[in-house]
Copies of this chain bind each other. A is one copy, B any other.
């Protein structure tokens, strides 16, 4: 989806600078998880960050979501359980299997973590500022006696129906961008293994390359190449590679963004620098400035502009020196 595509683009910016330094003077790699391949970072990083984004707002919210997956299964296995779930979650079509609903919820939480901006925005969906805070308020503020699943539905309604205009919900992605492009990428070169462990609020899941391969063969008739990226750009030694052979890259990250876990969060060299914002989300620095921008964001953008101006200045100086202009 959009976030995957945006993320892919900034990853490409960093790689472009690494491979084509004669064409790209530098790269602003905002929220670019260039380490999210093979086992360079722990595979559970992404879902742990999503989970922490919820826990920091409210531990009861975190616990409700964590409990909801079992509740879903229990409910779904009852007689007429799927019909009941269809009603609880106001689905447009009758639910066929529980996984479809789990994926829909998982997707909402993951996107919420990415777009957890400090002001109202419409990047993926129209959302209020600090949307996770709002989701958790909804979940926590339900009257006593509200079931786990009803609470969760109230919560994700912030994501799927903030405008209040949805009559019912389609579980399939119906956005204009679509997921096919990204899914094909993920099935070929952009294999980003992700797991979920006990510490997260998601169901436990271990990335399994063989079953991933099967899915890819089934859906796209392609076989993933999980080591291609790490061969092409460097794997566990990518930071040493960047340090020795790269320059002019800004890795900017917000720690609320689940992609930050696979990004470069420390300066690599004098010209490959990390800008880390504790309260930042996905690509926040690349968004248009607004009157609600926090001070740290304004300062971060100023730093980025200064660095980029420095690259351009140096480029013209060296050009002058090389060509005696």
Contact = CB atoms under 8 A, between A and B. Distances in A.
Interface of A: 19-23, 231-234, 237-238, 240-241, 243-245, 247, 318-319, 322
Contacts of A231: 23
B318 A21 contact: no
B22 A241 contact: yes
Contact of A22 (B21, B23, B245): B245
A247 B245 CA distance: 9
A244 B23 CA distance: 12
B21 A245 contact: yes
Copies in the complex: 2
Per DSSP, chain A at the interface is helix
Q: Give the 8 A-B CB pairs with smallest separation, nearest first.
A: A22-B241, A22-B234, A21-B245, A240-B322, A22-B237, A19-B19, A21-B244, A244-B318
A171 to B, nearest CB: 43
Contact of A245 (B237, B241, B245, B319): B245
A3 to B, nearest CB: 29
Contacts of A22: 233-234, 237-238, 240-241, 244-245
Contacts of A319: 240
8 contacts: A19-B19, A20-B232, A21-B245, A22-B234, A22-B238, A22-B244, A245-B245, A245-B247
A20 B247 CA distance: 15
Given A22-B240, A240-B319, A244-B318, 4 more contacts: A19-B19, A20-B232, A245-B245, A245-B247
Most chain B CB inside 10 Å of its own CB: which residue of A20, A22, A243, A244: A22
A240 B323 CA distance: 9
Contacts of A240: 22, 318-319, 322
A322 B240 CA distance: 7
A286 B192 CA distance: 43
A310 to B, nearest CB: 15
Contacts of A23: 231
Contacts of A318: 240, 244
A241 B21 contact: yes
Contacts of A237: 22, 322
Nearest to A322: B240
A34 B243 CA distance: 26
Contacts of A21: 241, 244-245
Nearest to A319: B240
A12 to B, nearest CB: 16
A10 B36 CA distance: 34
A204 to B, nearest CB: 33
A21 to B, nearest CB: 4
Nearest to A231: B23
